Amino acid sequence: KMYSLKPIISEFDVEKPKNMYVIKEINPREERQDKFLANLQTSLQVGKEGDLGDLEEKQQLLLEKLKELKRQLVSLQEGLPLCRKPVQPRTANLPDEYVIAVDPATIPYSLLLMLQQKRVPVEFYVNFFTHSSVAQLPEAAKEFAEEISRLSTGDGQKVTVIWKTGMPANFEVILNPTTSFWGEGNFIRYLSRMGVLDNTQDTDDMLLDMSHQLLVLSDDRKEQTKLADRLMGTIRKQKASQSVDYTTYSALRNFRNATKSDKVDVVLQDIMGRL
């Protein structure tokens, strides 16, 4: 059974004050049109007769007013503190030298392809050194170094390749004592961003990542073979930029050297045909 509560506050009426005053609107609702636009609209009105001569006259008036408006904008621009220096070429920010530490078991064929490129050649002056961690340099690495030496010129960007083992990854690029990054695909990305190579597309990132992962899986031959099949299938379906072809070729060529599998030969030939 419900019970009732006594009201705490009794009902009462509130009288509205009668001494309030009305404040005029600061901004009237009907906004004033700009005089220039109003005059322009009036001058462009054409009578019902649609006289062609009047229309041409009004068109000429409009052009003159646009010229005057442009002149005013130019005068305003000249008064602004804008930077007048010419645009600096992107290559001005390139380091004096690239130092690349690479495992001799995974040869950076992208360097060779860039030097062999005839349409847009990349000029590199490449020197090779062998780290004490390498007991004996493989014959494939020796042949690669000899071919690079024949193609590199003394006038190009300086590149120092150090054959080295025992690294967390098989390819390290050192730009300066405090800046470095890993991966042959990331080196291609860097050169593309700096304007040395053609720009990569958004769809190219997957190919670059798969190429990098293909070399990382060198200890797991089964998974590496599966990834190689996926990479080759993607290459056949997807059109990649030229700079990405450097990376995919290098990854598949190293996979070919390690596994002696000839199923990648057709894809390698297709890539070489595009370069």
Model pLDDT for residues 84-116, shown as the tens digit of each residue: 444 444 444 778 889 999 999 899 999 999 888
Answer yes or no: is 12 within a domain. Answer: no
What pLDDT does 88 receive?
A: 41
Residue 160 · residue 97 · CB < 8 Å: yes
Number of domains in the chain: 2
3-state helix, strand, coil in the chain (%, to 5): 50, 10, 40
CA 269 – CA 252 distance, rounded (Å): 11
181 shares a domain with 270: no
Q: pTM for this structure?
A: 0.63
Answer yes or no: is 8 within a domain. Answer: no
- Residue ending a domain, among 194, 215, 246, is 194
Answer yes or no: is 16 within a domain. Answer: no
Q: Find where tokens 């860039």 sit.
A: 114
CA 177 – CA 267 distance, rounded (Å): 38
Mean pLDDT of 211-237: 87
CA 83 – CA 19 distance, rounded (Å): 61
CA 189 – CA 199 distance, rounded (Å): 8
H/E segment holding residue 205: helix 204-216
Answer yes or no: is 70 within a domain. Answer: no
Q: Which domain holds residue 155?
A: 97-194
CA 197 – CA 240 distance, rounded (Å): 13
- Residue ending a domain, among 194, 219, 241, is 194
Residue 10 pLDDT exceeds 80: no
175 shares a domain with 133: yes
> What rounded mean pLDDT belongs to the chain?
79
Query: What pLDDT, in 10s, does the model give residues 106-154?
Result: 999 999 998 887 666 678 889 999 999 999 999 999 999 999 988 877 7
180 shares a domain with 267: no
223 shares a domain with 166: no
Answer yes or no: is 62 within a domain. Answer: no
Q: Measuring CA to CA, which residue among 204, 100, 206, 86 is closest to residue 144? A: 100
* CATH number of 117's domain: 1.20.1050.130
Answer yes or no: is 119 within a domain. Answer: yes
Residue 273 · residue 233 · CB < 8 Å: no
223 shares a domain with 171: no
What pLDDT does 163 receive?
A: 94
Answer yes or no: is 117 within a domain. Answer: yes
Q: Measuring CA to CA, which residue among 156, 46, 158, 49 is closest to residue 97? A: 158
- Residue ending a domain, among 194, 218, 249, is 194
187 shares a domain with 210: no
Residue 18 pLDDT exceeds 90: no
210 shares a domain with 187: no
